[in-house]
C-alpha cells in the first residue's frame, strides 16, 4: 500500500543516548488519538464546572447545574445538582403521572372500582408496589402470611372482616388481637380436651370422648371460650376472635404438624399461653388516605375479599 513505499529514510530516534549507543526510537502516537485525549481533558474541565466535583475542606465545588424538586413537605427547593435531588425530581414526576388515577380511585366507590377494568388494573399494579414496600415484611410478598406470625390475606378467612370498609379500617387504625392465657385457670387435661374439641371442629380425627369433654368445657363458665369465639365457635369479627370451625389456622401451626399429638400440642400452646401478639400497626400516619383506599382494594383483590 501507499504508505509502505515511503518508509525509505532511517528510523527516527528521540536523540537520547545512554552508555554511548543505547538509543530510544521515537514512535509518536497518532494525532487523532492525541486529539481525542485533549478533547477528553477539555470535557473533564467542563464537567468540573457543571457538576459537583472538587472537595474543599469540609465542602466542595457545587457546579453551575441546579435541580428543582418538591420535597415531602411540599416545599419547592432548588439545589446544586446531586443524585439525591435527581431522585426526588424523578419521584415528583412519577407521582404527578399517577395523580389522576389516585384521584379517580379516591372518588370512586369501592364496588365501582372493581367493575372498571382500567382503574382496577391500576390498583393491581400500584397496589402491588405499596404492598411490597409496607405490608410484605409481615404478610409476605403475595399476601400469603405466615402461620404464627401474620394472617394470610389470600384466603377467605378474616379476623376483622373482609369487606372493603373493614380492610380500609384495619389498615388505617391497625389492630391488636388478644387472648388471655389459661395455664393458671385450667388443668393440663382440660387444656387437652379443649384442644381436641377445637381440632374436631376442623374435622381432624381426635379422641371423641376427649373432644366431647372439651365441648362442654368450651361452653362452661370455667373456660368460657364462647365469650369470645361464640357459642358456635365461629368467632366474632368485631373483636377479631378467630373462627375455629374452618380449616384455616393462624396462630397454632396445625397444618405444619404431621402427627395428631403434634397438632394437639400446637393448639394447647395457644390455649395455655394466650396471645398478645396479633398486632397490626396503624398506617394512617405513614400512608395517605388515597393510598390506604387503593391498598384496601388491592388486599381485597388478593383473593379473600368479601
Judged by the rule CB under 8 A, the positions of this chain that interact with another protein are 2-4, 7, 10-12, 25-27, 29-33, 114-115, 117-118, 120-121, 124-125, 140-144, 152, 154-157, 243, 246-248, 255, 301, 303
Whole-number minimum distance, CB 196 to another protein, in Å?
19
Residue indicated by cell numbers 400500584: 126
Choose among 226, 224, 189: nearest CA to 210: 189
Give CA–CA dist 193/211, Å, rounded: 6
Q: Which three cell numbers stand for residue 148?
A: 404464627
Query: Closer to another protein at the Cβ: 246 or 290?
Result: 246
Whole-number minimum distance, CB 272 to another protein, in Å?
25
Q: Which residues of 285-304 are buried (b: 16+ CB within 10 A; e: fewer)?
A: eebeebbbbbbbbbbbbbeb
Q: Which three cell numbers stand for residue 188?
A: 393440663
Query: Closer to another protein at the Cβ: 164 or 182?
Result: 164
Whole-number minimum distance, CB 121 to another protein, in Å?
4
Whole-number minimum distance, CB 224 to another protein, in Å?
25
Query: Closer to another protein at the Cβ: 121 or 288?
Result: 121
| Helices 289-299 and 164-173: angle between axes, nearest 10 degrees | 130
Whole-number minimum distance, CB 26 to another protein, in Å?
7
| Alpha carbon 234 to its chain's center | 31
Give CA–CA dist 45/208, Å, rounded: 87
Give CA–CA dist 271/225, Å, rounded: 10
Amino acid at each position: 500500500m501507499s504508505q509502505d513505499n515511503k518508509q525509505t529514510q532511517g528510523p527516527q530516534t528521540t536523540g537520547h543516548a545512554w552508555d554511548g549507543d543505547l538509543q530510544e526510537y521515537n514512535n509518536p502516537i497518532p494525532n487523532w488519538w492525541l486529539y481525542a485525549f485533549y478533547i477528553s481533558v477539555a470535557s473533564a474541565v467542563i464537567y468540573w464546572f457543571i457538576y459537583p466535583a472538587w472537595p474543599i475542606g469540609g465542602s466542595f465545588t457545587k457546579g453551575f447545574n441546579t435541580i428543582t424538586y418538591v420535597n415531602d413537605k411540599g416545599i419547592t427547593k432548588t439545589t446544586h445538582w446531586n443524585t439525591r435531588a435527581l431522585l426526588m425530581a424523578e419521584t415528583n414526576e412519577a407521582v404527578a403521572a399517577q395523580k389522576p388515577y389516585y384521584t379517580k380511585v379516591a372518588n370512586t366507590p369501592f364496588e365501582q372500582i372493581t367493575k372498571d377494568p382500567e382503574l382496577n388494573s391500576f390498583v393491581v399494579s400500584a397496589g402491588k408496589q405499596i404492598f411490597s414496600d409496607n405490608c410484605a415484611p409481615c404478610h409476605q410478598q403475595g399476601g400469603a402470611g405466615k402461620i404464627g406470625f401474620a394472617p394470610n390475606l389470600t384466603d377467605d378467612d378474616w379476623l376483622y372482616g373482609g369487606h372493603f370498609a373493614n380492610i380500609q379500617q384495619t389498615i388505617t387504625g391497625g389492630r391488636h388481637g388478644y387472648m388471655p392465657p389459661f395455664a393458671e385457670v385450667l388443668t393440663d387435661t382440660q387444656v387437652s380436651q379443649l384442644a381436641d374439641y377445637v381440632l374436631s371442629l376442623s374435622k381432624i380425627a381426635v379422641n371423641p370422648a376427649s373432644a366431647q369433654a372439651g365441648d362442654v368445657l368450651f361452653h362452661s363458665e370455667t373456660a368460657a371460650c364462647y365469650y369470645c369465639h361464640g357459642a358456635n365457635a365461629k368467632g366474632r369479627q368485631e373483636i377479631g376472635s378467630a373462627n375455629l370451625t374452618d380449616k384455616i389456622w393462624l396462630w397454632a401451626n396445625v397444618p405444619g404438624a404431621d402427627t395428631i399429638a403434634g397438632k394437639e400440642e400446637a393448639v394447647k400452646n395457644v390455649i395455655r399461653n394466650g396471645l398478645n401478639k396479633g398486632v397490626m400497626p396503624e398506617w394512617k400516619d405513614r400512608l395517605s388516605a388515597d393510598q390506604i383506599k387503593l391498598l384496601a382494594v388491592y388486599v381485597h383483590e388478593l383473593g379473600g375479599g368479601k
